[in-house]
Amino acid sequence: MLYGLGAAAAWSVLQKNGEALQARWEARKDVARDVARFHQRAAEIGSIDELMRDRRTLTFVLEAFQLESEVDKRAVVRRLLTDDPADLRSFANRMVDPRYRQINREFGGKEGPPLADAALVDKIIRQTLINRFEKANGEANPGLREAMYFQRMIGGMGSVVQLMGDRVLTAVARTALGLPKQFGLLDYEQQKAILEKRLDPEKFKDPSWVNRFVQRYLMLREDAASPPSDPRLALFGGGGDAAANSLLGVVGAKLNLRL
């Protein structure tokens, strides 16, 4: 990974050499070994119950949908893997986060070995490796994982409402637009109104706009993470009335943050 460069510089390198860097990472022995094991276990697992008992294989599957943090929530995972996707009252269909519906569509309501479909196995491997590669870059340079995810996913968002259904996309957008953390304290409709004033969904499919937007996100994120040059300045920001005034400014002002 691109250690020591800083997220903004690493982002520039990834824009030029990302495919080659990912191919080199996927060729690593540990990565190739995990893929080979998953291929083997996919052919052996005969039921959802057996998949649930194989924590390592289950984690690999969940990683494809960026749900690996849910691996120990057994009841939730079982419902995602078994509920009928056509049931509007199912757990996945009642959740805002689209990741739950994505995995439910692939596994839910089906009989037989859950990983018998070669196309599904290939899809899981591809998506898991993308997730791991992005995670590794984020470990080397904080913020980079979210930036890569935003670039990969934003083109599929047709509206601000869809963007708001994804917590990572929303967090990147909030930071890139210079909105304070207290933005999350506003109710849904207020957040939606603010984002719709500042984001044009037509631009989501423009790679140049996305690249500039992500660069802005990384720059502002690094600025926010940097300590003030004079420690005494920290006494005058970050909480209390300052935070409240910042939030009121977001609601009341028409900021010119279009890119």
CB neighbour class for 72 (10 Å; exposed up to 12, middle 13-18, buried from 19): exposed
Give the number of C-alpha atoms closer than 13 A to the C-alpha of residue 54, restricted to the C-beta side: 20
pLDDT at 241 over 60: no
Top pLDDT among 194 and 97 is at 194
Spatial separation of the C-alpha atoms in residues 48 and 105, rounded to whole Å = 15
Which domains, and CATH codes, for the chain?
A: 16-140 (1.10.3700.10), 144-227+240-252 (no CATH)
Q: What predicted TM-score, i.e. pTM, was given to this entire model?
A: 0.84
pLDDT at 114 over 70: yes
CB neighbour class for 94 (10 Å; exposed up to 12, middle 13-18, buried from 19): exposed
Please, are residues 137 and 1 in contact by the beta-carbon 8 Å criterion? yes
Average pLDDT over residues 9-22: 95
- Hey, what amino acid is at 59? T
Query: What confidence score (pLDDT) does residue 16 get?
Result: 95
Spatial separation of the C-alpha atoms in residues 259 and 248, rounded to whole Å = 23
Average pLDDT over residues 124-151: 96
**For 130-143, how does the pLDDT look when each residue is reduced to its tens digit (9 = 90+)?**
999 999 999 999 99
Top pLDDT among 88 and 230 is at 88
Spatial separation of the C-alpha atoms in residues 137 and 251, rounded to whole Å = 35
